[in-house]
Amino acid sequence: MLKNFKLSRKFNILLLSIFLGAVLLSGIAFSAILNRNAEKEVTAKANLLLQTMLSVRQYTQTEVNPQLAPRLETEKEFLPQTVPGYSARQVMEDIRKNPQYTDFFYKEATLNPTNLRDKTDPFEEGLVNQFRNDSNLKELTGYRSSPAGDLFYIARPITIKKETCLRCHSTPEAAPKSQLATYGSNNGFGWKLNEIVGAQVISVPASGIIDNARKATLLFMGIVVAAFALAMLVINWLLKQTVVRPLNRMAKVANEVSMGDMDANFEQTSKDEIGNLAEAFNRMKTSLVMAMNMLGRGE
């Protein structure tokens, strides 16, 4: 099929094929790089926030709980400030009051919590069960959908490692009376040492960062397409000026010579391959004239 096309069209088809392949490969590579960077950015945010919550828990465990624990037996109402998970959740809720962090979430999702606001939803329950089924599994990451858009989450198991934790969660009889008065005796009991009872789940919005990566990819592709379109116009103009037009002129002169017009000359305006071709045609015309003259003289 290409045999029937003119030189410029053949060249454009070849150039367009190369361009489409280059755009496709560069687009895939650029998109992969941007998506990887976006995921790194989301992961860094989630890890920073998770580390903050862990620090709050540690502070509550070592500084606040020892001061308030004796009051649990005398107070009529339970003091949730003694619970590390409660402190971390409250700090997170305070952070979420800032409009920039409205869609950031932290939860110590528990299968059988004392406070029902920490009860696992079906998705979180699946995470906890994965940790319970594989004791070597220390972290899970991924994306989940929400009304606010896609969220990137990091989940880590909550394991009962200290005997002191069982004081409030072994049996109702061992629990502080203030706890029973506040939360009752139906939830948050039966925990065992070294048992995985829940998961710390931090979720940060990912849709915005991913959308920005997609927009950057489209912008990059648009710039590449525009640059190549301009390059094709310039190359086509140069091709016509330096190759196509000189060849067309030589074809016209050759046609005139073939009709007997020996005064027509092949213009040699350059010293490149086109110029060499014109010079060769001129020599051929000269040889043809000499041959015809010799035939005319009968030699």
Give me the pLDDT at residue 73, please.
Answer: 65
> Which tens digits make up the pLDDT trace of 177-200?
888 888 888 888 999 999 999 999
Q: What is the CATH number of domain 32-205?
A: 3.30.450
For residue 1, pLDDT beyond 60 = no
Give me the pLDDT at residue 68, please.
Answer: 76
Q: Which residue has the higher pLDDT, 164 or 88?
A: 88
Residues 138-155, mean pLDDT to the nearest whole number: 86
Which tokens in the block code for residue 197? Answer: 């009872």
Residues 21-31, mean pLDDT to the nearest whole number: 83
Residues 136-147, mean pLDDT to the nearest whole number: 88
Give me the pLDDT at residue 31, please.
Answer: 81
When pLDDT is cut at 50, 70 and 90, the band that residue 299 belongs to is low
When pLDDT is cut at 50, 70 and 90, the band that residue 213 belongs to is confident
When pLDDT is cut at 50, 70 and 90, the band that residue 74 belongs to is low
Q: What are phi and psi of 127, to 5 degrees?
A: -65, -45
For residue 85, pLDDT beyond 80 = yes
When pLDDT is cut at 50, 70 and 90, the band that residue 123 belongs to is very high
Give me the pLDDT at residue 200, please.
Answer: 93
Give me the pLDDT at residue 268, please.
Answer: 65
Residue ranges matching CATH 3.30.450 in the chain: 32-205
When pLDDT is cut at 50, 70 and 90, the band that residue 4 belongs to is low
Give me the pLDDT at residue 72, please.
Answer: 67
Residues 243-257, mean pLDDT to the nearest whole number: 78
